[in-house]
Structure 1
């Protein structure tokens, strides 16, 4: 029989029980407080996501056990960290909260304290937050897995978002190698075929897999980035010019800079070339013109903003005394004042313009108020009018073309143009007497890589219904050497979207070539250009009018003598060449089509006579062209 406990033992047991109960109560209070905080976080997340399904189970209330586990994506093989497989170099155990946690052997964890003076783990310069800081970390959803079906910029943007996510959660990784595996783990489908072997090499310690973010970025871009991105960006930045605000121009310029590796001087030259002429002029008048790219960006944006603000505050012009009327073949356009203030537009008029797709400034279709090329001129009232035989007014900077081909019930006349540089390709071209100039689609220019030249004065293309083309001003034209029915042509085209028609030949071509068109048969023929050479009798004595002392030199000035080189003599002039000399290549200059043709004819002629021979040298003598009296070009070589 056990002895009864003494009073002292009972008091000691009661004291211990009381302490245990107090500890449990403290834990319950702590858990309740955590539950309240968790509910607040869940409510805030629900408010941010709206009706989107959360997709992950809610955490159970309890004491904090470390960082929150990032969401993982379903699919793939489940690995138990710490398990040594055959052939593995060492157990691979990422830290908690990286998506590789095991549910076994869980134990409460205490917050880790970094030793004083020891730098924290970081991801280069991408880590903007310190886990021990009191600053609240922004919430960021994990990007969707990369499937590998999109390449180029979209692929690199996905990698940038993943690296940003990893940078914000860097305290959940023990080392950078785990960050690399975490990013590779979130690749599926085609991308997984590339990523999984790299993960295996990292785990097994075999080969030379990327174990740093920098190495992973380089390898990822080799596999999924656009190999021609740099070349495409160079083409785009070469033709980029400011058409809106300077701020938007700078943004687009920066996007292209990200794909290139030019030096700062090249960027400055290209940026100023495409800058609006007004901004460029005001920038050049500054007392101290900046010589750094970022400073030029800032100065240009500031100048443009001030310029636009001054234009808005400029005193309004007095209204016109009488309205002007412009009559075309389809519409009558009458300009009238809205009110005493020529720039005033009533709210009703604004709503009407927006509903009809019209510009609030000028009342025309094809553009918005910010892209208006006409400015505050007046509203436009269009009144239908019977078809007139001619245009009453000729506008020098406005061209007309009709794109409503389906509305024309008569059969259309097309002609096949054979491209000189692409003999097997034929350009199905519409012959349209209603078009004032020749037009070509931008898709054709891009397809055949046809070089474009910028117009000194932009052209405005107006449709036959009176509306302006949606592209606004036309800035570029191309010159094509083509053949039609065996007849050669050199034709200029304005680059303008013209629907499904590849090209249009207008009145300029019809006037210049004067083709014979059989509209009933739909055929086009060209008049033969017959050159009749008058036969002259040869002069029996060409030296009759020359003094006798010059007769012995007549052969020197003959055409046949000029076609051959003079014979070698004992007093030939020798040009001693320095062996292994370093040549300084001169600058390259562009040539016009006429100059290129003259140079080719000169080279072919000199090769045929044997005066020159082919050379593979990287340097050569500069040439220039002098226009002769008959309009042809004389080539001059500067030795």
Structure 2
């Protein structure tokens, strides 16, 4: 068909030629759109990964330093675990590890430094791994056995119930007894109660009660007993304010030592003379007669044998000597003289210069 124009071409050829042109235009248009899409498409090159680690908070304040003291190890670990769970919950293991490591000082830092260098940039750099190393280096392997022995010997004596319960709870934790049955924990607690509190608990059946319920009942009974003792002590003190102190006058009118040709340096003061000497420094308040068990406890805790307080010796106590309880058919009123605990101590203990503290 060379040399032929469209007018001279058959009709069917003209239609075919127009369709070919339309098809070419469509192809060119599609190619142009594809080129534009490539130019505007975003880059598929991977960018930097976003940092998903959260910053630590400061709800609990700074963690205390640890210098390797075995007695402070478990309390410090408890504080460290609380810090990790509250302020470092969204941080990486490396961040949590170095937070604990930076709080080590002295012997603790020196002993763990070789281990830290050995595990650097490994999966062992975790806070729990550091805590395990601290327990291995400074923990007492016999803590549970010692705590169990102390539990068997623990007594309330003249302490308040809460003071006794605080020490009891500490020993139970050290002995690993948090998972003990309630009956075992109640038996340990009841065995060390004071005789007075045990009498008040007679008739109150502890069977069927949980350990927490039993402790709450002991606390309420102890508070009521303490309030009663305070009121009773106040009534007795008010009743004595207007009565003459016959025992004090007995000491003032006691006979003096008879004259002797022996050397005056060999003279030993009698009980009445020493009683007068004691009365010159008292404040008018009188100590309460206590049992031998309480005296042994005061002697063990380095307390004053007469009043049970700290900071002074028995000979310097401002309380009047305790009176022996009145017993039937044993002593008359005139025979109930003041009993000074310092006079009942063994001579060997006084001669050694023991000030009366235990």
Q: TM-score, normalised by structure 2?
A: 0.53
The change in CA–CA distance for 1:220 and 1:210 in structure 2 (over 3 A counts) is: farther
Find the aligned partners of 1:249 and 1:359 in 2 and give their Cα distance. 31
Aligned to 1:187: 104
1:1-49: CA deviation from partner (whole Å, max 9, x where unpaired): xxxxxxxxxxxxxxxxxxxxxxxxxxxxxxxxxxxxxxxxxxxxxxxxx
The change in CA–CA distance for 1:96 and 1:311 in structure 2 (over 3 A counts) is: closer
Aligned to 2:304: 366
Aligned to 2:246: 323
Aligned to 2:143: 229
Aligned residue-pair number: 245
Deviation of 1:369 after TM superposition, in Å, equals 5.2
Find the aligned partners of 2:188 and 2:79 in 1 and give their Cα distance. 30
Q: Secondary structure at the match of 2:275?
A: strand
Q: After the TM superposition, which residues 41-80 of structure 1 pair with which residues of structure 2 at under 5 Å, given as runs? A: none
1:521-540: CA deviation from partner (whole Å, max 9, x where unpaired): xxxxxxxxxxxxxxxxxxxx
Higher share of residues assigned helix = 2
Aligned to 2:357: 470
Find the aligned partners of 1:255 and 1:282 in 2 and give their Cα distance. 25
Aligned to 1:308: 226
* Residues 286, 321 of structure 2: 8 Å contact kept: no
Deviation of 1:278 after TM superposition, in Å, equals 1.6
Larger radius of gyration: 2
Aligned to 1:333: 275
Structure 2 unaligned spans of 5+: 1-50, 255-268, 290-302, 323-335
Find the aligned partners of 1:195 and 1:143 in 2 and give their Cα distance. 18
Q: Secondary structure at the match of 2:97?
A: helix
* Residues 60, 83 of structure 2: 8 Å contact kept: no
The change in CA–CA distance for 1:274 and 1:288 in structure 2 (over 3 A counts) is: closer
Q: After the TM superposition, which residues 425-436 of structure 1 pair with which residues of structure 2 at under 5 Å, given as runs? A: none
Aligned to 2:156: 242
Find the aligned partners of 2:212 and 2:133 in 1 and give their Cα distance. 31
Structure 1 unaligned spans of 5+: 1-92, 99-130, 132-136, 338-348, 382-391, 408-462, 472-639
The change in CA–CA distance for 1:192 and 1:287 in structure 2 (over 3 A counts) is: closer
* Residues 233, 260 of structure 1: 8 Å contact kept: yes
Q: After the TM superposition, which residues 502-513 of structure 1 pair with which residues of structure 2 at under 5 Å, given as runs? A: none
* Residues 197, 222 of structure 2: 8 Å contact kept: yes
Deviation of 1:274 after TM superposition, in Å, equals 0.8
1:309-336: CA deviation from partner (whole Å, max 9, x where unpaired): 01222343754666224788454437xx
Find the aligned partners of 1:273 and 1:154 in 2 and give their Cα distance. 29
The CA RMSD over aligned residues, in Å, is 4.6
User: Which of 296, 308, 313 pairs up with 2:214?
Assistant: 296
Q: After the TM superposition, which residues 540-559 of structure 1 pair with which residues of structure 2 at under 5 Å, given as runs? A: none
Find the aligned partners of 1:368 and 1:177 in 2 and give their Cα distance. 59
1:592-627: CA deviation from partner (whole Å, max 9, x where unpaired): xxxxxxxxxxxxxxxxxxxxxxxxxxxxxxxxxxxx
Deviation of 1:406 after TM superposition, in Å, equals 6.5
Residues 1:261 and 2:176 aligned together:
yes
* Residues 238, 270 of structure 1: 8 Å contact kept: yes
Aligned to 1:178: 95
Higher share of residues assigned strand = 1
The change in CA–CA distance for 1:239 and 1:309 in structure 2 (over 3 A counts) is: same
Find the aligned partners of 1:284 and 1:178 in 2 and give their Cα distance. 56
* Residues 359, 367 of structure 1: 8 Å contact kept: no
Find the aligned partners of 1:296 and 1:225 in 2 and give their Cα distance. 33
Q: Secondary structure at the match of 2:236?
A: coil
Q: Secondary structure at the match of 2:346?
A: strand
Q: TM-score, normalised by structure 1?
A: 0.32
Q: Secondary structure at the match of 1:284?
A: coil
* Residues 185, 195 of structure 1: 8 Å contact kept: no
User: Which of 272, 289, 292 pairs up with 2:190?
Assistant: 272
Find the aligned partners of 1:157 and 1:165 in 2 and give their Cα distance. 13
* Residues 147, 190 of structure 1: 8 Å contact kept: yes
The change in CA–CA distance for 1:235 and 1:288 in structure 2 (over 3 A counts) is: closer
Find the aligned partners of 2:61 and 2:345 in 1 and give their Cα distance. 53
Deviation of 1:280 after TM superposition, in Å, equals 1.4
* Residues 184, 196 of structure 1: 8 Å contact kept: no
1:331-357: CA deviation from partner (whole Å, max 9, x where unpaired): 4437xx9xxxxxxxxxxx9xx76xxxx
User: Which of 140, 144, 154 pairs up with 2:61?
Assistant: 140
